[in-house]
A and B are shown apart, each in its own frame.
Chain A
């Protein structure tokens, strides 16, 4: 019964992610680009629950987030990959602790996710291949990475403690 309640709470917290993506406040953005709420949720969950739970959560989250956008790029490749990598990282004997570590992991993860988005856009849109290293994509990747890395130490630390409580 306690376990079921914990799972229910985890799912509820995950459902808040698409809602946060919709209502992301304008002041929490760098020139209009908001932090990646999906990454902020997935990172503590994958670190806590392991690689396969991370992959499944990444898959579910990607499907939910893709339903909010008009099309490519998709969240699926990046969130599934990050769920697996962070799950492996969390399964190490020494647990990852410290707010700054979370910020650094989020920074690398968001940057990787941004690169995957950029690759999808470049492959999908033939016109964009002419300018593979175009200013807007670099601007988007950097803005999203900085915003996510700045917020991660606060939100992900709190979420990790919440997931630990839910799992126990």
Chain B
């Protein structure tokens, strides 16, 4: 049986030569269908060494920060003006005195700090004392060169506070332990462990919105209203310098 290849063989050879082209057309079709994702990704990988450097990103971040600072300043000024209208305490950053802790009783029968700055520096009774993280206590008494701070954990400490997330008011009472107790004023305060406690925005004694601590446990069975245990943010045992926020 002499003769050339059969018709089927010829067709097969022809298809074998053409299949890379079919493959290419199919691939391009897929790229077209995916709106050029393959191309775009390839381009991004190739362009990566030529992307805008960190310097440009920093410029943008700085610009955003500046914008936020300006916004904050404007809001703060607005807030001060409104608080003045309502005769509430101001929250300005002016009038802060740094003072060293010269003696401390943070455990035991009394919870207090003795500061190395007094009335000469403008500190007066009732001023708020801040540590890193939040409010530590309130000035109890002053001498010309020293001031005594009643810590929030002390027995007679009672300040008005506010739970930001639940928008619920309460009284923070020192129990002599490291964690003060928060007595709520309403039956259903809608708070949960982890909520942030700060000074009351309606306070006429302390500056508003100073962070104090985080709710640790809640006792819903307490009468007449629920109570909570608060873990303070500022650790009084390990602070050597504090900031006193002058009220006047």
B52 CB–A CB distance under 8 Å: no
Cβ B112 vs Cβ A121 within 8 A? no
Q: How far, in whole Å, are A144 and B108 apart by their CA atoms in the complex?
A: 9
Name the CB-closest residue of A to B141: A70
Q: How far, in whole Å, are A140 and B107 apart by their CA atoms in the complex?
A: 8
Given A127-B181, A136-B177, A137-B176, A69 and B110 touching (CB < 8 A)?
yes
B76-105 interface code vs A (CB 8 A; 1 in, 0 out): 000000000000000000000000001101
Chain B residues in 8 Å Cβ range of A34: 108
A27 CB–B CB distance under 8 Å: no
Q: How far, in whole Å, are A137 and B108 apart by their CA atoms in the complex?
A: 8
Given A32-B237, A127-B181, A69 and B176 touching (CB < 8 A)?
no
Distance (whole angstroms) from the CB of B206 to the closest CB of chain A? 17
Q: How far, in whole Å, are A3 and B106 apart by their CA atoms in the complex?
A: 41
| Complex partner residue of B156 from A23, A72, A143, A144, CB under 8 angstroms | A72
Given A121-B155, A140-B108, A140-B109, A22 and B103 touching (CB < 8 A)?
yes
Chain B residues in 8 Å Cβ range of A121: 109, 155, 176
State which residues 112-145 of A face B: CB under 8 Å.
117, 121, 124-125, 127-128, 134, 136-137, 140, 143-144
| Complex partner residue of A128 from B105, B154, B176, CB under 8 angstroms | B176
Cβ A31 vs Cβ B156 within 8 A? no
State which residues 61-97 of A face B: CB under 8 Å.
69-73
Cβ B105 vs Cβ A71 within 8 A? no
B97-139 interface code vs A (CB 8 A; 1 in, 0 out): 0000011011111101010000000000000000000000000
A33 CB–B CB distance under 8 Å: yes
Distance (whole angstroms) from the CB of B187 to the closest CB of chain A? 19
Chain B residues in 8 Å Cβ range of A128: 155, 175-176
Distance (whole angstroms) from the CB of A109 to the closest CB of chain B? 16
Q: How far, in whole Å, are A47 and B232 apart by their CA atoms in the complex?
A: 45
Distance (whole angstroms) from the CB of A161 to the closest CB of chain B? 30
Q: How far, in whole Å, are A31 and B177 apart by their CA atoms in the complex?
A: 13
Q: How far, in whole Å, are A34 and B109 apart by their CA atoms in the complex?
A: 11
Cβ A70 vs Cβ B154 within 8 A? yes
Chain A residues in 8 Å Cβ range of B105: 69
Name the CB-closest residue of A to B140: A70
Chain B residues in 8 Å Cβ range of A117: 109
Cβ B114 vs Cβ A22 within 8 A? yes
| Complex partner residue of A70 from B103, B148, B181, B237, CB under 8 angstroms | B148
Given A70-B140, A71-B156, A128-B176, A31 and B109 touching (CB < 8 A)?
no
Taking each of B103, B108, B140, B237, which has the highest tally of chain A beta carbons within 10 Å of its own beta carbon? B108
Cβ A72 vs Cβ B108 within 8 A? no
| Complex partner residue of B173 from A22, A127, A136, CB under 8 angstroms | A127
B169 CB–A CB distance under 8 Å: no
Chain B residues in 8 Å Cβ range of A137: 176
Cβ B175 vs Cβ A127 within 8 A? yes
B150 CB–A CB distance under 8 Å: yes
Chain A residues in 8 Å Cβ range of B176: 121, 125, 128, 136-137
Name the CB-closest residue of A to B176: A136
State which residues 24-39 of A face B: CB under 8 Å.
31-34
Q: How far, in whole Å, are A165 and B211 apart by their CA atoms in the complex?
A: 57
Distance (whole angstroms) from the CB of A12 to the closest CB of chain B? 21
Sample (17) of A-B pairs whose CB atoms are under 8 Å apart:
A22-B102, A22-B114, A32-B107, A32-B108, A32-B237, A33-B107, A33-B108, A69-B105, A70-B110, A70-B150, A70-B156, A71-B155, A72-B155, A121-B176, A125-B175, A127-B175, A143-B108
